[in-house]
Amino acid sequence: MADFTPRIFSGIKPSGDLHLGNYLGAIRRFVPLQNDYACIFGVVDMHAITVWQDPADLKRGTLEIAAAYLAAGIDPKKHIVMNQSQVHEHAELGWIFSCIARMGWMSRMTQYKDKVGKDAEKHSLGLFAYPALMAADILVYKATHVPVGEDQKQHLELTRDIAGKFNHDFAARLKELGLGEEFFPLTEPIIAGPATRVMSLKDGKRKMSKSEPSELSTIYLMDDADAIAKKIKKAKTDPEPLPSEAKGLDDRPEAKNLVEIYAALAEKPVEAVLAEFGGQGFGAFKPALADLAVETLAPMAGEMRRWMDDKGAIEAVLRDGAERSRAIAEPVLQDVKRIIGFVS
Ligand code: TYM
């Protein structure tokens, strides 16, 4: 690969309350990356409106995700915390990428297919085009790495396909303009750790998400201690005791999920959790997990509330983030326009 500045972009969409999957699969993993990369963390509100959002909820949700980044320990001075719709370069590059991506590629996106089911007709065009905008979020900063949960893997493959096709389609033009052989990097996903796919507490085969049918399926970051304990107590399990080795969790999706959540919260390998709890039943494990979850999430929720009490401070962080994001994105978009042949 050509020499690109190591840079991270990742985003979360404000389309419902933040949950444990967002926290363990994304937010918490962003924090240590600040030591090794220049990072941009976005609240991707333009993605949220691919399905209907109540305007007041959208606004509150946007501020809440920014609050979560800040509460988790993202440094908005050394790095960037921004809101997608405040940086119009995302939308402009998104359109250009909609003309690079092929209908066939987009039609294979499993998240889209799962979401619309057999009923594509009544969904928005934006929902179908969504992964092209996601590629623009990343490539408008020429980000080299994107930390995400497992569910975003296919979208990142598409991002690489779009970058590769752009580099290939305009190879002669890049040469002519002296812009090297690869204009966009082939971005690498960072999907690592025990909780890259946190599952529903009521069904170990379904992903934990904001749209699960039972409210007991999903732990929200702003849940209080009682709600967290109740949801873990009522989580689906099986009658067997926990195994002492990880392979004993195969074919036990609910047990595997709870052990992985414990491992992620405790920042320990799954093997270490099983060395401690192997042979014990859920009667012993669940209260330990509930205590650990409350202990870990309560300070985060408290810090988020403190930020939410000063919305002006969050808005100031986002305004500064938008300005610094544009300083990176604008020259990239100008180059893209020149490469394509737009008159400036
Ligand atoms: P979103 O908003 O659905 O989720 C935000 C992040 O949380 C992760 N995540 C999970 N991780 C583990 N277990 C789960 N159950 C779980 N649920 C969600 C997601 O993988 C994600 O990292 N398309 C993206 C937003 C986006 C984006 C981007 C991400 C837009 N542009 C550019 C990265 C780079 C999305 O809908 O994530």
pLDDT in tens, 270-299: 999 999 999 999 999 999 999 999 999 999
- Regarding whether 270 and 186 lie in a shared domain, the answer is no
Same domain? For 330 and 302 the reply is: no
* 324 CB within 6 A, ligand 1: no
Question: Ligand 1: which residue has its CA nearest to atom 36?
Answer: 13
Q: Are 245 and 107 within one domain?
A: no
**Residue 236 bears catalytic tag:** no
Of all residues in the chain, the percent with pLDDT exceeding 90 is 95
SS (H, E, C) 315-338: HHHHHHHHHHHHHHHHHHHHHHHH
Give the domain range for residue 281: 215-306
Q: Could you tell me the two tokens for 114?
A: 């799962």
For residue range 8-52, list pLDDT tens digits in order.
Answer: 999 999 999 999 999 999 999 999 999 999 999 999 999 999 999
Annotation says 256 is catalytic: no
Question: What distances in angstroms separate CA 161 from CA 98, 168, 188, 264, one per listed residue?
Answer: 12, 10, 12, 32
Based on the number of CB atoms within 10 Å of its own CB, is 115 exposed (0-12), middle (13-18) or buried (19 or more)? Answer: middle
Residues 146 and 269 in one domain: no
* 118: confidence class by pLDDT, cuts 50, 70, 90: confident
pLDDT tens column, 213-226: 788 999 999 999 99
One domain for residues 333 and 272: no
Residues 100 and 178 in one domain: yes
Q: What is the pLDDT of residue 213?
A: 79
CA 41 to centroid of chain Cα atoms? 10
Averaged pLDDT of the chain: 96
Q: Do 125 and 222 fall within a single domain? A: no
How many independent structural domains does the chain possess? 2
Question: How many C-beta atoms lie closer than 10 Å to residue 168's C-beta?
Answer: 11
Is 152 close to ligand 1, i.e. is its CB under 6 Å away? yes
Is the pLDDT assigned to residue 1 strictly greater than 70? no
pLDDT of residue 119: 87
pLDDT tens track for 101-115:
999 999 999 999 999
Indicate if ligand 1 lies below 6 Å from the C-beta of 19: no
- pLDDT score for 214: 86
* CATH number for 255: 1.10.240.10
The answer as to whether 209 is a domain residue is: no
158-183 pLDDT per residue, tens? 999 999 999 999 999 999 999 999 99
Query: For residue 153, how far is its CA from the centre of ligand 1 (angstroms)?
Result: 10
Catalytic residue list contains 247: no
Please check whether residues 87 and 102 belong to one and the same domain.
yes
Q: Does residue 151 have its Cβ closer than 6 Å to ligand 1?
A: yes
Residue 205 belongs to some domain of the structure = no
Average pLDDT over residues 184-191: 98
**Residue 242 and residue 285 share a domain:** yes
Task: Report the predicted TM-score, pTM, of the whole model to 2 decimal places.
Answer: 0.97
User: Among 115, 153, 165, 286, which one carries the catalytic annotation?
Assistant: 115
Ligand 1 centroid to residue 12 C-alpha, Å? 6
User: Mutate which of 22, 85, 111, 134 to test ligand 1's pocket (most atoms within 8 Å of Cβ)?
Assistant: 22
